[in-house]
Amino acid sequence: MNAGKGRGSGTSKGFENILVRMRELIVDRDGARLIHGVEVCGVDVDAETRCGHWNSPIDIIAIKFKCCGGWFPCFDCHAETTGHLAEVWPASDFGEKAILCGACGYQLTIDEYLVSDSSCTRCSAAFNPGCEKHYHLYFAAAATA
């Protein structure tokens, strides 16, 4: 019968895409983000676990917390997101997989991480060696001597 009219406009689709992108940005902002299948909570968490507090190229680990079992990029992210006091891992739990490599998704045990020389034992990505200064926030003193 009649021709014409079949022309769909591309603008609404483009607009939808913008909305989707905006929604992604908003979700990123207020918390949880899936990183290699692990839900990491924090402030402005990026795809490799950097956060609003620590975001140099080598800040790519997330840490699982003893208190709530959740994964966070850093101590401050945990404090700001959960509002409760963090519990450190006792030495008896150092076999627990509590360090997530943001580069490859490998989970290191605390023991493994402490002797890793600040790099991933699977993909060799460099971790921030400065984290060493904050071990006491996450792990009970490992010293047994």
For 81, other C-beta atoms within 10 Å of its C-beta total 20
Residue 63 structure tokens: 């840490």
State the minimum distance, in angstroms, from the CB of residue 71 to Zn ion.
10
> For Zn ion, what does the binding mask look like between residues 109 and 128, x meaning CB under 5 A?
-----------x-xx-x---
Please give the full DSSP string across 83-134, using - where no structure is assigned: -S---PBPGGGTTSEEEEETTT--EEEHHHHHTS-SB-TTT-PBP-GGGGGG
> For Zn ion, what does the binding mask look like between residues 2 and 41, x meaning CB under 5 A?
----------------------------------------
Of 49, 77, 50, give the one whose Cα is nearest residue 65.
Answer: 77
CA–CA distance, 30 with 42 (Å, rounded to integer): 7
Largest distance between two CA atoms of the chain: 91
C-beta of 76 vs 96, nearer to Zn ion: 76
99 binds Zn ion (CB under 5 A): no
> For Zn ion, what does the binding mask look like between residues 65 and 94, x meaning CB under 5 A?
x-xx----xx-xx----x------------
Which of 40, 98, 99, 101 contacts Zn ion by CB under 5 A?
Answer: 101
Binding interface with Zn ion (CB under 5 A): 42, 51, 53, 65, 67-68, 73-74, 76-77, 82, 101, 103-104, 106, 120, 122-123, 125
